[in-house]
């Protein structure tokens, strides 16, 4: 790579950054100053004592890259292929609900920021704007839809149909949230964004949900949502039914055990997202990164594996790909960008992440993602 400002990513970034936040920690601190304490606390926090939240980050520091030298990395290709579609970068924006907590434009600003860099966006069931409005804001940029199963399964199937009609390209079924985790930050603050109505857009715009309500007041809508997000009987049979109900690829988000990965493949699932919900559901569980190698071994390349939880830097992305991930999800970092500067903040966070990823690949001796197996990691 050239050492001139024109060609060197670092020098270009030095010119462009000025006084904006740069590291994840700086973006987080900036978001904290912009947001109300209880709203920031909801986004930042994890479940219980936050062991899993910390473990997600610590796991990456336990692995070290052993780079290769004297490979031509003058042109680094970060593109990947998933489900027959070429994506420019090996990451997607994770489904994060209730983004109005960070910025009034919420998901609309985030999806536009993602479109700036051609990064796929995953819309949450509990988004602040309807999946149709988010699809319109995305334009031609790829988007997936994340589904929380409803107690009234007709509502879930209605949302699947709406996602197909709105041009979503895949369905992400979250399986680790049959009930909410023990989130002490929210308990301490006496705050629930669901009760506050920040994540109701997809429900109030769903005809099946609205028809199911006897009380259509704001209070009745919120109560209906709360009743539907609690579904402890969710099981593998339902997964098979979901797969049959849509023509789109279906991924399961929240898999940590290799045996569950095997069951997912037996159910005909198209992809797995190795995730512990960013440490927000069950505390004390393994980090997603530590769970990845065993799952990659049993999957053996048959379906895509995506790593979620704990991704903060381009070096994290590269380590995940070396350990067997096809791509990763980026979560809290872009929300902190959103809280700091709206769409422009999202764009800057993603731009920095993309450039650091390219630099990491190049300095590891990799010119394209397909060459990842040539790079070794050692456990520290």
DSSP string, 313-327: SHHHHHHHHHTT-SE
* Residue 10: per-residue pLDDT: 59
What does the DSSP 8-state code read for residue 332? H
pLDDT 10s digits, 153-206? 999 999 999 999 999 999 999 999 999 999 999 999 999 999 999 999 999 999
How confident is the model at residue 2, as a pLDDT?
Answer: 35
> Cα(357)–Cα(100) distance, rounded to whole angstroms?
29
96 among annotated binding-site residues: yes
143 known ligand binder: no
Query: Which of 258, 367, 281 has the alpha carbon at shortest distance from 46?
Result: 281
Q: How confident is the model at residue 299 (pLDDT cuts 50, 70, 90)?
A: very high
**Tens digits of per-residue pLDDT, 162-176?**
999 999 999 999 999
pLDDT in tens, 35-70: 999 999 999 999 999 999 999 999 999 999 999 999
User: Among candidates 256, 196, 258, 184, which has minimal Cα distance to 221?
Assistant: 196
User: How confident is the model over 132-141, as pLDDT tens digits?
Assistant: 999 999 999 9
Please report, rounded to a whole number, the percentage of residues in the chain having pLDDT higher than 90.
92
Predicted local distance difference test score (pLDDT) of residue 1: 33
Q: Say if residue 148 carries a ligand binding annotation.
A: yes
Q: What is the pLDDT of residues 71-91, one digit of tens each?
A: 999 999 999 999 999 999 999
Output the six-digit token pair for 332: 């809290």
- Average pLDDT, stretch 302-309? 98
DSSP at 2: -
Please pick, among 24, 89, 231, 277, the residue that the annotation labels catalytic. Answer: 277
| Distance of alpha carbon 234 from alpha carbon 256, whole angstroms | 17
**pTM for the predicted model, two decimal places:** 0.94
Tens digit of pLDDT for each residue in 15-26? 555 678 999 999
> Closest Cα partner for 109 from 369, 325, 345, 321?
345
Share the mean pLDDT of the chain.
94
Domains in the chain, start-ordered, CATH in brackets?
A: 9-379 (3.20.20.70)
Residue 229 — very low, low, confident or very high, per pLDDT cuts 50/70/90? confident
Whether 331 has a binding-site annotation, put simply, is: yes
pLDDT at 62: 97
310 annotated as ligand-binding:
yes
Pairing of strands 85-87, 80-82: antiparallel
Flag whether pLDDT at 95 surpasses 60: yes
**Does 122 show up as a binding residue in the annotation?**
no
User: pLDDT-based confidence at 7, cuts 50/70/90?
Assistant: low
**Is residue 231 part of an annotated ligand binding site?**
no
| Active-site residue flag, 38 | no
């Amino acid at each position: 790579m050239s050492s001139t400002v024109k060609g060197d990513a670092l020098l270009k970034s030095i010119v462009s950054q000025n006084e904006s936040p740069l590291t994840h920690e700086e973006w987080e601190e900036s978001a904290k100053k912009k947001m109300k304490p209880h709203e920031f606390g909801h986004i930042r926090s994890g479940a219980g004592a936050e062991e899993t939240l910390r473990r997600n980050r610590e796991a990456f520091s336990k692995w070290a890259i052993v780079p290769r030298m004297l490979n031509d990395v003058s042109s680094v290709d970060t593109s990947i292929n998933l489900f027959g579609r070429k994506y420019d970068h090996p990451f997607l924006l994770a489904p994060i609900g209730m983004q109005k907590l960070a910025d009034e434009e919420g998901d609309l600003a985030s999806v536009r920021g993602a479109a700036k860099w051609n990064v796929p966006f995953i819309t949450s069931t509990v988004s602040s704007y309807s999946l149709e409005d988010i699809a319109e804001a995305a334009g031609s940029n790829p988007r997936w839809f994340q589904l929380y199963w409803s107690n009234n399964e007709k509502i879930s199937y209605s949302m699947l149909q709406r996602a197909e009609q709105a041009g979503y390209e895949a369905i992400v079924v979250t399986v680790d949230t049959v009930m909410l985790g023990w989130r002490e930050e929210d308990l301490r603050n006496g705050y629930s964004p669901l009760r506050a109505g920040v994540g109701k857009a997809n429900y109030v715009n769903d005809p099946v949900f609205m028809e199911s309500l006897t009380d259509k007041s704001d209070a009745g809508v919120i109560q209906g949502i709360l009743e539907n997000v609690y579904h402890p009987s969710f099981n593998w049979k339902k997964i098979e039914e979901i797969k049959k109900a849509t023509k789109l690829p279906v991924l399961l988000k929240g898999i940590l055990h290799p045996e569950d990965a095997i069951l997912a493949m037996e159910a005909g699932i198209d992809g797995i997202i190795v995730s512990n919900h960013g440490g927000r559901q069950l505390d004390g569980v393994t980090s997603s990164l530590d769970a990845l190698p065993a799952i990659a071994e049993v999957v053996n390349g048959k379906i895509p594996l995506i790593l979620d939880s704990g991704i903060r830097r381009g070096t994290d992305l590269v380590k995940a790909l070396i350990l067997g991930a096809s791509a990763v999800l980026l979560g809290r970092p872009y929300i902190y960008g959103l809280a700091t500067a709206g769409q422009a903040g999202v764009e800057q966070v993603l731009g920095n992440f993309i450039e650091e990823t390219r630099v990491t690949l190049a300095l590891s001796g990799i010119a394209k993602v397909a060459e990842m197996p040539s790079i070794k990691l050692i456990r520290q």
